[in-house]
Structures are given as structure tokens and as C-alpha cells.
Chains A and B, each alone.
Chain A
Amino acid sequence: MADRRDMKVAVLSGKGGTGKTIVSVNLAAVAGTSVYIDCDVEEPNGHLFFKPVISSVEEVAVKIPVIDAAKCNGCRRCVDFCKFNALALIKNRPRVFAKMCHSCGGCMLLCPQKAISEQERTIGVIQRGTAGNVTVCTGELNIGEATGIPIIKRLLQLGAADVRCPVFIDCPPGSACTVMESIKDADYCLLVVEPTLFGIHNFRMVYELVRLFNKRCGVILNKCPAGGNPAEDFCVEHGITILSRIPFDHELGALSSEAKTAVWESERYRRQFALIYETLIQEVCHEAVAYS
């Protein structure tokens, strides 16, 4: 069972713009000492709210094959082996398409001529910093790169290496491999859902995903309208735990548009997110509720 002192909560949504970052940033900010990890490496934005003082920056590199033309005899084994189509045989010599390479190393192992070695290639950076009691880890994938997975892997290592405290993982949108990587080691998946058909459609997809991964999960209904909420109907229909409802709120939207962390700006939001945080702890850690 997860422990409130070091629980790992992944925040995801399927659709972008439903409020993953608002929820994860404010939960981390209200949790006291905590770690916030921005795994949305294609467009990280949590740091805009935290404005962390950066303490370290590291590059993330992957290994790609380099072919020694003098040793290669054009046998084509490497090209036929590569499932990612990162190699092509042109005029009897293999050519590497570095951005397609998934760094599996298979071509190097397979080459009968031992003509392939590996070379490092930088695909992005990780910044680590602090904002109040929150350790902020941000990954940023270089534009044009095929996959942010290596950055996410490293980010999660960095986050886990920290002092014992709750970790909030702000996941990328969608339900593809970067999301899977982000939730892999999470104790709990917090799904943020907005009341739109598109939002519910993509919520369904991540809901299927977290079930496939056997993750426990619960929902925060964001931007709740005054009337009926189709997202809530879906949760009720499928027996999905609803942890909280955040009303459609101009003030929260306005604070976000100015990149302000709501719980640091207003007592009302501090209380609101503190309550969500307490509910989350009970749900994640199954902490005993006092008997009455």
C-alpha cells in the first residue's frame, strides 16, 4: 500500500487542456514538501507556474549507430532487422536516420562485420529546481525528435532520488507510449476530466489504459457546469471514483492565464486544493477514516 509520505500520483487526462497542470501544480504546492515532475516533455508548462530557481541542468542523450564504411560490406542485415525503419540501404551502404532510431542496439549486435558502433546524441534537457517546498523537475524534448521516452525515464529517476515526499507526475496528453512511461511506477492515477464530448472520449481512452496497467484511479471533474455533467454521468455509469469537482471558474482561469499558482494566490483555492489533497491521500493510501 502506498504511503502518504512518498506516494506517487500520476495526473493524466487524455485530452489536452482539461486541467492536468493546474491540478498537479496546485496539489504539489499545497502538499508541503513535494516533488513535481513535468513529463509533458513536448511542451512542459508547470515551470511557468512554479518559476523555480534552477539548481541543475542535464542533457539527455540516446545512443545511435555509427557505421564504419571501411568494414561494412552492405550485407543489409541491419537494415532488415530495424523495426523502426531507422536504416536504409542506399547504393549498397546503410544510412542511419538518427531521429527514427529507438536505441535498441540490435543492429550493432547483429552486424557480422562488426562495422557498427554507438555514439551519443542529445535529444533534450532536464532542469531541476525549487519553488518554496516543491522540487520541480522539467523535461524538454528538442523539436523534431521522435520520442521523449528517454527523457521521461530519466526525469522519473531524478524525482525518485529525492527525499521522502509525495511525487506528482504531470503526464503528457494522449494515451500513447509517453503516457504509459509516465504512469508505469505510479501508485495512483488521477484523471482530470472536462465536461466536453472530446474530453470524455479521450478520458475513456486513458481510463482503459490505466485499467490495462492495473492502476488504481480516481477522477477530478474539472470545469464543472452548473447543470448536468456528461463526464460525471460516465463516471457513475462505470463506477469510477470521483474525488472532487472543481466548478467552472473564471477566477481560476484568469490566475492560470497569468501563470499564477492558485493556492499561493488565494486562501479560497488553498483550502479547495488542501481538501482535494486530503481526499487523495485517503483514497491512495486507504488511510483509516476515524470511526464515528
Chain B
Amino acid sequence: MKIAIPLEQKDLNASLCPSFGRAPYFLFYDSDTEEGEFVENSAATTPGGAGIRAAQIITDYDADIVLTPRCGENAAEVLNKADVAIYKSMSGTARENVTAFLAGELALLRDFHSGFHHGR
């Protein structure tokens, strides 16, 4: 099973990025091989629709699960339609979140926010 996590830094001990679409990096962690890969999020700097593009990256990497503190409606739509399950992360590092998820301690994310597009 492949788990994707939005991160501030390329580090298993880094904390999660509060923004899914504009996270600088994603960690893709394969729970079968216990190996992780850090990928730069090319969506982070796009002017709009970052969530959609970021979700596209997640599906392109064939992730099964996303652990994130928050997620927008558009990104959630892409992920849901692509059968990627979205779980609400807890505070703490990427490593702690993977452990918690595998132990069944995380719940599905239920609230998806609308965009912060075109702010003044």
C-alpha cells in the first residue's frame, strides 16, 4: 500500500504541511517495502488549481492513501474519483503519522474546504 503525505521538508521527521495542494514536497511511503520517496510538488507554485494538480501527482504515483491535515474540495474530488482514500493526519512527524495510520488510529477526513482562490 502506498501512502502519500504533504511535507514541509524532505525528511521523515518533518511535520506535515498544513496545505495539501501547496505543500513543497510529498512523501510516498510504500508500507510493503517500507521504503519512502520524496517528490517535489510542482503544483506548489501554480497560480491556481494547485489542489487539482497536486492530486494528479498523487494519482500519477499510484498512491492508495493520503494523510493530510486539510484538503480542498477539488483535490478531494480528484482523489475520490481515483479511489484514493483521504485520512486526517494528527500532529507530529510523517513517520509518526505512518505508524498511527498503520495501527488504524487515523480516521477518514470528512471536511473539505472550498478554495482560497484569487484572494485580494
Residues of A within 8 A of B (CB): 16, 79, 83-86, 88-91, 95, 97, 100, 144, 146-147, 173-174, 176
Nearest chain A residue, comparing its CB with the CB of B82: A90
Cα(A24)–Cα(B43), bound, Å = 40
Interface string of B35-60 (1 = CB under 8 A from A): 00000000100111110110110010
Tell whether, in the assembled complex, residue A85 and residue B52 are in contact, meaning their CB atoms are under 8 Å apart. yes
Chain B residues in the interface with A (C-beta under 8 A): 43, 46-50, 52-53, 55-56, 59, 74, 77-78, 81-82, 114, 117-118, 120
Closest to B56 in A: A88
B81 touches A97 (CB 8 A): no
The smallest beta-carbon distance between B84 and chain A, in angstroms, is 10
Whether A147 pairs with B81 at a CB distance below 8 angstroms is no
Contacts of B74 in A (CB 8 A): 97, 100
Contact B52–A100 (Cβ < 8 Å): yes
**Shortest Cβ distance from A245 into chain B, in angstroms?**
27
- Establish whether residues A146 and B48, one from each chain, have CB atoms under 8 Å apart when the complex forms: yes
B48 touches A100 (CB 8 A): yes
Contact A147 B118 (CB under 8 A): yes
CB proximity of B113 to chain A, nearest CB, Å: 13
A-chain residues with CB within 8 Å of residue B77 when the two chains form the complex: 95, 97
Residues A97 and B120 in contact, CB atoms below 8 Å apart: no
A75 to B43, CA, bound (A): 20
Which of B50, B118, B120 interacts with A85 by CB under 8 Å?
Answer: B50
Partner pick for A86 among B49, B59, B118, CB 8 A cutoff: B49
Measured in the bound complex, the distance between the Cα atoms of B49 and A144 in whole Å is 14
Whether B120 lies near A176 (C-beta < 8 A) is yes
Residue among A85, A89, A90, A91 making CB contact with B49, cutoff 8 Å: A85
- Bound CA span A89–B78, Å: 8
* Residues B56 and A79 in contact, CB atoms below 8 Å apart: yes
Q: Whole-angstrom distance between the alpha carbons of A83 and B52 in the complex?
A: 12
CB distance from B42 to the nearest CB of A (A): 11
Q: List 21 A-B contacts (CB under 8 A).
A: A84-B49, A85-B43, A85-B53, A86-B49, A86-B52, A88-B52, A88-B53, A88-B55, A88-B78, A89-B56, A90-B78, A91-B82, A95-B78, A95-B81, A97-B49, A97-B77, A100-B49, A100-B52, A147-B118, A173-B120, A176-B120
Please determine whether B46 and A85 come into contact, CB atoms closer than 8 angstroms. yes
A97 touching B52 in the complex, CB below 8 Å, given contacts A144-B114, A173-B120, A176-B120:
yes
Question: Smallest CB-CB separation from A174: which chain B residue?
Answer: B120
Q: How far is the CA of A42 from the CA of B49 in the complex (A)?
A: 20
Q: A88-B52, A146-B48 are in contact. List 5 more A-B contacts (CB 8 A).
A: A84-B49, A85-B49, A85-B50, A91-B81, A100-B48
A37 CB, nearest partner CB in chain B, Å = 20
